[in-house]
Structure 1
Amino acid sequence: MRNKGILSLVAVGLFASSLSVDVVKAEGNENELVRKALESQMEKPLEKRFIESRTFNQLEREVKGSQAKSVEGFRKMSRSSSDEDYIYETEYNDDFGSADNSSFEKTTIGQLLPLYDVDFSKVAVPSDGVLLVAGSASSYAIDLGFAAVQKDYVDNSNLEYLGNKYEEDVELRAYDVKKGTYYIGVYDQDNNYNLDDNTEDDIYAIATGFVDDVKPNKPTVNKVDNNDKVVTGKAESSTTVTVKNGSKVLGSVKATSKGTYSIKIAVQKAGTKLSISAKDSAGNVSSSASVTVADVVAPSKPTIKKVDDNDKVVTGKAEASSTVTVKAGSKTLGSAKANSKGTYSVKIKAQKKGTTLTVTAKDKAGNTSSKATTKVVKH
């Protein structure tokens, strides 16, 4: 599709503010290779999530509300080096080895002269995410074509074309990319018809942006018990790690450069399920890790009612649902589970007067109370 119209100052300014320029240039065979790369990235509507990204929205707002910048104005700019607003393509940049450097902070401006000229620029992507490329031409003389590719046109999952969109004479393209260096190849699609109508008045602008839409890895979390006042573990470095009990936030902290974190919390009851997630600087939130608060607190020491030498039960109070055991020395006389109110009744054989009985309670986590004792009295 031909990109019509005049490049706008704000369009270029926008590219500079939120995108990085990537340009490709070549002759003959290189032109053909770029053309094939572009044709392999067929027109494909972008998913809504990309169109609604902050970078795309900013680009569209700036382009639609811009005032035209004349080509003559571009011609008056220095073509020998970058200025504070733009990067100017520098020949020779017709292949990967001679590609110009681009910047996420500035737009690249160039010409496609002579016939079959191709311009290359390279962009360093800081992490996995989405590479955005925008391009526009100043006149009908340039039927602008551009594509992001890997060096030597390597084709693998490191760069996957997601689709394109046209808006106000600007084409937007999106690519799912892994961290690394990529190249933007630019050429005039009129060359396919041997049409040589470009002049020095005909300018193009190419810019790139990056959207980090990759969630951090799920954090790891160390054991948490009902004595602990901190939750510790590992998460992606410099992410904000948050601990919740249901929807209630218990605390959050920034993970260190090594990915460790330590979050202060109030002591939680045994059996409470905590969820831990990490959010990166781009606002991507990891899936949640979970941990159940372990019970490491022993039950309170049981109480014992008077036991005489005729009694065949020992009664008293202990932690609800704990298992209460009665012993004479090392010999177990009996055990029973305390009810939900904490009362217990343990059947035993009648014991002689003066026998010392010990009573302990064990909870379901295996924690055992200290011993309660009583002496058997005469009936």
Structure 2
Amino acid sequence: MKKRIISLLVVFALCSTLFFKVNVNAESTNQTIKSDTGKEALNYNVINGSKGDLLKKLAGNTVSNDGEHKLLGDYLFEKEPNNTFETANDLPLKTYVVGTYDSSYTDVDVYKVVIKSDGLLKVKTTAGKSNYTLASAILHDENGNLQEKAAMQYEDSGTISEYNVTSGIYYITAFNSENSINVPYILSTSFRPEVYAPKVKSISDRDTKITGSAVTNSKVYLFANKKPLNNGTLVCDSKFSVKIKPLKAGTKVTAYQVYSGYKSEVVTLTVSDKTPPKTLKVNKITSKTKTITGKTEASASVEVKKGKKLLGKAKANKKGVYKIKIKQQKKGTTLTIIAKDKAKNAKTIKVKVK
């Protein structure tokens, strides 16, 4: 038991080293094997048996088709030596690799995965029913930093480790935590990109396009009061732009993006009012006028100024009619009439006292 504990510590020490300088002398022959899909697989280090014998040992221990992994049948075989970062086998996401540990308990197998965006990486190891501890895995980034697990699940046939990762190159190290030899295993990965809600710039009732940022190569979908504004716009260089007809102030615009089949949360914006009152009329003003009258946008605030001096103000009624009491002004005096809507958009006219 003491020897076993020491051996286990040795394996962990090896796995935590940056380049895993382990020399494995496998007493076996390398054979090139094709997967059942007809694609050439990685070379598998055959130990005391054939491909068929290996798969027979693993029968009943495949990962279920959960939408994140492919069913066993489209798989690769490990290629020895692969016990350092430099000799790591390339492992595409969502693909199984079948491997085994040689006659040395210090044997580790290293796989290189490339992550193109931030997200959640899952690593599944399977090594026999009720013997999930026979295959364990850890993750390092390309600088050799050990990555902390976000979560871990145990199943009868294996373990699933989850990691929150950013884009970059990573190395998965599979090792035998029980120090048994000739242990076959299956290792697979899946990745769920982090798809955040798109960032949409504020929209006004004068805009003829909607712009913002999202994940490159995703598609952004826009809706105005639940009616579609586009059929999905492809995002290039993290930016998108969608031409629209001006929307009415107060309209609710919703947006989300879809990337690699994953839909983001929905973001909602309200179209702002940037349009000043369309109408501003003033009735004739003379040197005898004590009340200025006219018409503008309903409920707008109206002011009368002489230069910077405020002479009076009032609020237009529901029909847009306003009345403002002022002191009589001399003939030829220039007055400024300003109408502001609720959004503080202003329309201004100047009139001379008759």
Same fold flag (TM > 0.5): yes
Of the structure 1 ranges 127-136 and 243-252, higher mean CA displacement relative to structure 2 is found in 243-252
How far off is 1:153 after superposition?
A: 9.5
Specify whether residues 356 and 299 from structure 1 end up closer, same or farther in structure 2 by C-alpha distance, changes over 3 A only: farther
Specify whether residues 186 and 369 from structure 1 end up closer, same or farther in structure 2 by C-alpha distance, changes over 3 A only: same
Three-state SS of the structure 2 residue aligned to 1:232 is strand
Q: Distance in 2 between matches of 1:327 and 1:143?
A: 84
Three-state SS of the structure 2 residue aligned to 1:31 is helix
Q: Distance in 1 between matches of 2:12 and 2:190?
A: 26
Q: Distance in 1 between matches of 2:279 and 2:131?
A: 88
Three-state SS of the structure 1 residue aligned to 2:323 is strand
Give 1:184's aligned residue: 172
Amino acid at match of 1:185: T
Give 1:57's aligned residue: none
Specify whether residues 239 and 262 from structure 1 end up closer, same or farther in structure 2 by C-alpha distance, changes over 3 A only: same
Q: Distance in 1 between matches of 2:14 and 2:327?
A: 95
Q: Distance in 2 between matches of 1:152 and 1:29?
A: 23
Contact 2:127 2:185 in 1 (8 A): yes
Give 1:210's aligned residue: 191
Amino acid at match of 1:338: A
**1:34-61 Cα deviation digits (max 9, x unpaired):** 6889xxxxxxxxxxxxxxxxxxxxxxxx
**1:3-53 Cα deviation digits (max 9, x unpaired):** xxxxxxxxxxxxxxxxxxxxxxxx99863436889xxxxxxxxxxxxxxxx
How far off is 1:300 after superposition?
A: 0.9
**1:225-261 Cα deviation digits (max 9, x unpaired):** 3222222233332333344456555446425422222
Q: Distance in 1 between matches of 2:323 and 2:132?
A: 94
Give 1:4's aligned residue: none
Q: Does 1:33 find its partner at 2:13?
A: yes
Three-state SS of the structure 2 residue aligned to 1:149 is strand
Q: Distance in 2 between matches of 1:170 and 1:327?
A: 81
Aligned equivalent of 1:314, options 266, 270, 292? 292
Give 1:342's aligned residue: 320
How far off is 1:267 after superposition?
A: 2.0
TM-score with structure 1 setting the length? 0.62
Q: Does 1:266 find its partner at 2:254?
A: no
Contact 2:197 2:256 in 1 (8 A): no
Aligned equivalent of 1:134, options 117, 124, 127? 124
Q: Does 1:241 find its partner at 2:230?
A: no
Specify whether residues 109 and 280 from structure 1 end up closer, same or farther in structure 2 by C-alpha distance, changes over 3 A only: closer
TM-score with structure 2 setting the length? 0.65
Contact 1:329 1:356 in 2 (8 A): no
Instruction: Name the one with the larger helix percent.
Output: 1
Map residues 36-47 of structure 1 onto 2, 5 A cutoff.
Answer: none
Which structure 2 residue ranges, 5 or more long, are not aligned? 1-6, 18-48, 56-72
Contact 2:126 2:135 in 1 (8 A): no
Amino acid at match of 1:269: K
Q: Distance in 2 between matches of 1:350 and 1:152?
A: 82
Give 2:92's aligned residue: 103
User: Relative contact order (C-alpha < 8 Å, sep 6+): which is higher?
Assistant: 1
Aligned length: 297
Three-state SS of the structure 2 residue aligned to 1:160 is coil
How far off is 1:154 after superposition?
A: 4.5
Q: Does 1:281 find its partner at 2:260?
A: yes
Give 1:7's aligned residue: none
Aligned equivalent of 1:175, options 163, 173, 183? 163
Specify whether residues 140 and 319 from structure 1 end up closer, same or farther in structure 2 by C-alpha distance, changes over 3 A only: closer
Give 1:19's aligned residue: none
Amino acid at match of 2:103: P
Structural RMSD (CA): 4.2
Paired-residue identity, %: 26
Contact 1:142 1:189 in 2 (8 A): no
Contact 1:320 1:343 in 2 (8 A): yes
Q: Distance in 1 between matches of 2:274 and 2:101?
A: 72
Specify whether residues 299 and 359 from structure 1 end up closer, same or farther in structure 2 by C-alpha distance, changes over 3 A only: farther
Q: Distance in 2 between matches of 1:321 and 1:216?
A: 40
Which structure 1 residue ranges, 5 or more long, are not aligned? 1-26, 38-70, 78-83
